[in-house]
Structure 1
Amino acid sequence: METTTIKAMNARELTKKILNNEELFILDVRNTTEFVSWQIEGGKTEIVNMPYFDLLDGIEPALNQIPDDKNVLVVCSKEGSSIFIAEQLIEAGRTNIHYLEGGMKAWSEYLEPVKVGDLRDGGEIFQFVRIGKGCLSYMIVSNGEAAMVDTLRMTDIFKQFAEDKGVQIKHTLDTHLHADHISGGRHLAEMNHATYWLPPKDAEEVTFEYEALEEGKQIMVGNTKIFIKPVYSPGHTIGSTSLIVDDHYLLSGDILFVDSIGRPDLAGKAADWVADLRKTLYETYKNLSQDLIVLPAHFGKATELGEGGKVAARLGDLFVSNAGLNINNDDEFRVAVTEHLPPQPNAYQEIRQTNMGRITPNEAEQREMEMGPNRCAVHDK
């Protein structure tokens, strides 16, 4: 008698299905609290939550929910529970059943490299999309050298990508002190004997040496004069610094996103930083070239993913479409960015302390701290 075996789907394969708009039915067997807080979305995925413990007495409730004509992916936190449920579904006669290899932990850490565009004299800029968490890192490449911006914790991926491109990482930069994820910038710089840059106003409590990322400094990548120009842009943090690359791209950190704007409360100083945030968005950014292509450090919704997964938008277009850039009254703006905000990122205080070098969690602890969405945006709807 022919039997159907359980199949694994890894995070890369899942990402490709989402970006290619392939139909996929997801059965998420985590508890309801985890599911409501953070789930897989995007493309033509359909998802239903049925907690694992509700299915231990029988798989029948799930059978009634799962379509016969679609590929089915069972998801849990680490993969163990999803394997068990997937096996039960197969024993009940269902086919095209997969489980997410490594579970949501693996989904949280997968990075999809996307080419953003070309720079002058043969340079390139790449975006690394952490699709499961909404984080974005950038590699700027020119004439055998590279600079990384807002480097994520998974530094081996960037190191390997640079080796494959035949370039040496000379600089790593953080646009601000991150609160939603652990920065890999300093570690990657140490691995490559590169220079690590951080805005000095965000670095008052750090325990390590760094190069001050501030206006007036120009960081050259390669010898083809592709410059990274810092633009002081406080509001998300007091030190937030945007970067203009090659006079064409604006790396906005957590100040401006495609569908929202940055929140000012993650260091406990929302009331103090609201005015800074408004000035950055409504004056500093308004005075920049409106043809700059905005490349943020995060995205909040799958709808912000463009072709190939790229997250980008023209600055002038965002002043039309982004609700956060169209609040004319100061008081209304203050309310919008300080009240009715989404929950703060998981373990954000501990993440800030880690990025300051004040605590040193191990790898397992770092993974646990980063679980969940980034929640760095106001998310006006």
Structure 2
Amino acid sequence: MTVTKWTAADVARKVIDNQSLFILDVRNADAFEDWKIEGHQFDYVNIPYFELLDGVEGILPQLPKDKDILVVCAKEGSSIMVADMLSEADATLSVSYLVGGMKSWSSYLEPIKVADLSGNGELYQFVRLGKGCLSYMVISEGEAALIDAVRFTEVFTSFAKEKNVEIKHVFDTHLHADHISGGRSIAEATGATYYLPSKDAAEVVFDYTPLEDGLTVQIGASNIDVGALYSPGHTIGSTSFVVDGKYLLTGDILFIDSIGRPDLAGLAEDWVGDLRETLYRRYRELAEDLIVLPAHFMIIDELNEDGTVAKRLGDLLAENHGLNIEDELEFRSIVTDHLPPQPNAYQQIRQVNMGKITPDHDEQTEMEIGPNRCAVR
């Protein structure tokens, strides 16, 4: 059987539609253990490609005859080689390789409609499955607002064109440290206003509009409001948004199964009190029926059946462990002493998002390689 090419979009549909897939990952074991393609119905085997240079016959018993087999490597080359070897060794296997490898998986965004809003408005979530990033577009009456857009600007501008809307407002909930923001670039390309929390912007070298507590921006003529709520803790300027009175965009403060980490600017001890204040007072004063839409997810189990990442605030207040640590000293210990590894190149990413350095496309890709690590579980 001929080897076929699968794009990241093809794999994303398998994830979102909860379909089965067998992945042969030929990267080194440490790379596989750190970060891999996840799906509810996915099975895996990890065999580094250098162990297969003399032939693949020895691994054929480990491969299914009744499932698609996707060969994955870092950038594509090794997976093509192994896929061809498998096809030659057993023509009955259904073998494909991932175009662009894990590099392309890290970059792919899947737009999913979250809800209809007042007055024919719409809310979309852009799910970056390979990195765990979530961006948002609010659409109403020919206008759009973007929240936490990642660096793949063409995805958002093309989507806006498809929807026949003009991007008027671009927001970053905070100065990101785990991925490179596309917010400023999109604003420059479209003439939109770019908002950034002023408390996070002390070192930025570009112009921006301060994002302050209580700021309300109307999208279109249908009175869909995007209202800012100061919610520090992940960074000192972190700001959440209430959209259309129904949806709470929490940035990197609150996730479905975890909470934000306070240490990526080196100020965990200073910011842990702000984090607790946001999670245990500010959010608890809000309506429990608000639907939480975070800027990240950590594990595939956080995706709903339709592929969105969203959950009622009241449910999170009851179920999320990070929101139910009564002892303040225990909370402080968990979010300062039991942190996961820091994101890849996070210090350089902060510098990029301040406008201080301008790496090329390949350098940006390398900076972002790896899983989401913005949370404490």
Q: TM-score range by the shorter chain?
A: over 0.9
Which residue of 236, 257, 260 maps to 1:238? 236
Deviation per CA, 1:189-242: give whole Å up to 9, x if none.
011000000000000000000001111321111122211111110000000000
- Report the Cα distance in structure 1 between the residues aligned to 2:4 and 2:214, rounded to whole angstroms: 54
Which among 37, 53, 76 is matched to residue 56 of structure 1? 53
Please give the residue correspondences for 1:1-381 in structure 2 after superposition, counting only pairs within 5 Å.
4-94=1-91, 95-379=93-377
Partner of 1:25, secondary structure, is strand
Q: Is the 8 A contact 1:10 1:100 kept in 2?
A: yes
How far did residue 340 of structure 1 move? 2.4
Query: Matches of 1:211 and 1:347 in 2, distance apart?
Result: 27
Q: Does the CA-based 8 Å contact 1:74-1:99 persist in structure 2?
A: yes
- Tell me the CA shift for residue 63 of structure 1: 1.5
Alpha-carbon offset, residue 349 of structure 1: 0.4
Alpha-carbon distance in structure 2 between the residues aligned to 1:61 and 1:10: 28
Q: Which moved more, 1:217-226 or 1:281-290?
A: 217-226
| Rounded Cα–Cα distance in structure 1 between residues aligned with 2:363 and 2:163 | 32
Query: Which stretches of structure 1, 4 residues or more, deviate above 3 A after TM superposition?
Result: none
Q: Given residue 9 of structure 1, which amino acid in structure 2 is its aligned partner?
A: W
Confirm or deny: 8 A CA contact 1:29 1:74 kept in the other structure.
yes
CA distance in 1, matches of 2:320, 2:355: 35
Q: Is the Cα contact below 8 Å between 1:214 and 1:232 reproduced in 2?
A: yes
User: Cα distance, 1:36 vs. partner?
Assistant: 1.0
Output the CA distance in 1 between the equivalents of 2:58 and 2:247: 50
Alpha-carbon deviation of 1:66? 1.1
| Whole-Å separation in 2 of the counterparts to 1:275 and 1:132 | 32
Which amino acid is 1:375 matched to? R
The 1-side partners of 2:33 and 2:305 are apart by 27
Q: Report which stretch shifted further, 342-351 or 17-26.
A: 17-26
* Pairwise CA distance, 1:119: 1.0
What is the SS of the residue equivalent to 1:286?
helix
Deviation at 1:61, TM superposition (A): 3.4
Instruction: Tell me how far 1:374 sits from its aligned partner.
Output: 1.6
Displacement of 1:48 in angstroms is: 1.3
Identity %: 61
Residues 124, 141 of structure 1: 8 Å contact kept: yes
The one-character-per-residue Cα deviations of 1:260-288 (angstroms, maximum 9, x if unpaired) are 00001111111111110000000000001
**2-structure distance, mates of 1:26, 1:308:** 22
How many Å apart are 1:55 and its aligned residue? 1.1
Q: Is the 8 A contact 1:27 1:72 kept in 2?
A: yes
CA deviation profile, 1:339-380 (whole Å, cap 9, x unmatched): 22211111000000000000000011001101111210102x
Count residues in correspondence.
Answer: 376
Tell me the distance in 1 between the aligned counterparts of 2:67 and 2:114: 33
Tell me the distance in 1 between the aligned counterparts of 2:194 and 2:248.
Answer: 20
2:59 and 2:288 map into 1 onto residues whose CA distance is: 51
Structure 2 residue matching 1:176: 3-state secondary structure: coil
How far, CA to CA, are the matches of 2:105 and 2:210 in structure 1?
34
Is the CA contact 1:174–1:198 (under 8 Å) kept in the aligned structure 2? yes
The CA distance in 1 between the partners of 2:36 and 2:58, in whole Å, is 21
Deviations 1:285-327 (A, max 9, x none): 0001111110000000000011321000000010111111010
3-state SS in 2 of match to 1:285: helix
